[in-house]
Amino acid sequence: MPATHPCDVAIVGGGLAGGLIALALAAKRPGCTIRLIESGARIGGNHLWSFFASDVAAHDRWLVAPLISYGWTGYDVAFPGHGRTLKAHYYSIESERFDRVIRAALPEEAVMRRKVLAASSKAVVLADGDRVEAGGVIDCRGPGDLGLLELGWQKFYGRELRLSEPHDLARPMLMDATVEQTDGYRFVYALPFAATRLFVEDTYYSDTPAVDLEAMGARLDGYAAAHGWHAEQLVREEAGSLPVVMGGDFEGYWQSGGNKVAKAGVRAGLFHPLTSYTLPDAVRTAALVAGASDLSGAGLHDLLHGHARRTWKRRGFYRLLAAMLFKAAEPGERYKVLERFYRLDPHLIARFYAAQSTLFDRGRVLAGKPPVPVKRAIKAIRK
């Protein structure tokens, strides 16, 4: 007999956005019954999420603090024309810990390992025939119809390695663009977890989402060999293609993820258009939901739709930069845009990552001789 599971708030999809909303509600609204419905075995899947301290407002840090696996106080970047060490607190969250912390914060019955077939603003239909009936539903199942957005891609293949000898990295290398430039803007990203433990990732700002694991793996092997890193064990690997957003129809995208249903995370269009990072937005959204006076389906829809629409409007500048990067710069020359950007003031860089660039920052980023052909830059801006 199919069963009905009642609750106050049903969260559909236990990834980054859904997991953080569940955690925030558990902490701030202890009387509120939650169902976090995730088809995968682990809340958060197989991920490593990183962010700068300045991406998260001081009043929201309590939410991420228990989730952090690693932290550093500075990072490096390297380009053909210059290298630089920047001071900034940078953190990484592993999905394994994310899963553990969230399960510990919720009653056992709150986490349901089920596949969802459909969600409305007040009900969720599960693949096994059961239903969840809720005061309000938030859909966090990942992307809506990305075809409605104008996209480039950030794609990557990362490996966590256990080394036979200590490595030579004093701090994270966020962009090593001294590597061969191929398939767009290419750089290697490396995080030192411990003396003999490293995460190293081959990344591309590419015109296509296709991930060629064999070619990327061979390039990672070459990078490791050049640094004298001998891997004893491949601990974990991750690969993906994230949308870099140059434009598109926000309302169409929102509705493609389900009409009148509240949404969060990538499904709500809540990402940084150029870095594709969603963690800072996911934290803000979770805090917003936990503080909401109206947790009904309609109330949550209006709250999150308004929040996502305002956020989208404010981020035109980053979509413009994405268009300049993808349309004005030849793929092999894209690195010059980032090389120039990384000569700017560290505070401006931090505000850029947090999607909090001031008017002055915007002028500063666009001022001077652009490292891309001027005519093509103007065309990219006008489109």
Ligand X SMILES: Cc1cc2nc3c(=O)[nH]c(=O)nc-3n(C[C@H](O)[C@H](O)[C@H](O)COP(=O)(O)OP(=O)(O)OC[C@H]3O[C@@H](n4cnc5c(N)ncnc54)[C@H](O)[C@@H]3O)c2cc1C
DSSP string, 229-264: --EEEEEEEEEEEEEEEEEE-HHHHHHHT-TT-EE-
Amino acid at the residue 58:
A
Give dist(CA 374, CA 225) in Å, integer.
39
User: What order of strands is seen across the sheet that includes strand 83-94?
Assistant: 48-52, 83-94, 68-78, 173-176, 185-194, 197-206, 149-163, 231-248
- Rounded CA separation 220/215 (Å): 9
CB of 8 to ligand X, least distance (A): 19
Map the footprint of ligand X across residues 99-158, applying CB under 6 A: 115-116, 140-142
Return the number of the residue (266 or 323) whose C-beta is nearest ligand X: 266
Contact region with ligand X (CB under 6 A), list: 21-29, 96-104, 221-229, 276-284: 276-284
Residue 189 Cβ, how far from ligand X at the closest point, in Å?
A: 9
Find the shortest distance in angstroms from Cβ 372 to ligand X: 26
What is residue 310's three-state secondary structure?
helix
Query: From the list 7, 13, 102, 303, which residue makes contact with ligand X (rule: CB under 6 A)?
Result: 13
Q: Which stretch binds ligand X (CB under 6 A): 14-22, 70-78, 82-90, 299-307?
A: 14-22
Q: Residue type at 339?
A: E
Q: Does 15 bind ligand X (CB under 6 A)?
A: yes
Q: What is the DSSP letter of 271?
A: S
| CA of residue 196 relative to chain centroid, distance | 27
Q: Nearest residue by C-beta to ligand X?
A: 15
* Closer residue to ligand X, CB minimum distance, 40 or 74: 40
Which part of the chain contacts ligand X (CB under 6 A), choosing from 8-16, 188-196, 288-296, 373-381? Answer: 8-16
Closest to ligand X by CB, 115 or 314: 115
Contact residues for ligand X, defined by CB under 6 A: 13-18, 37-40, 45, 47, 49-51, 115-116, 140-142, 238, 240, 242, 265-267, 276-279
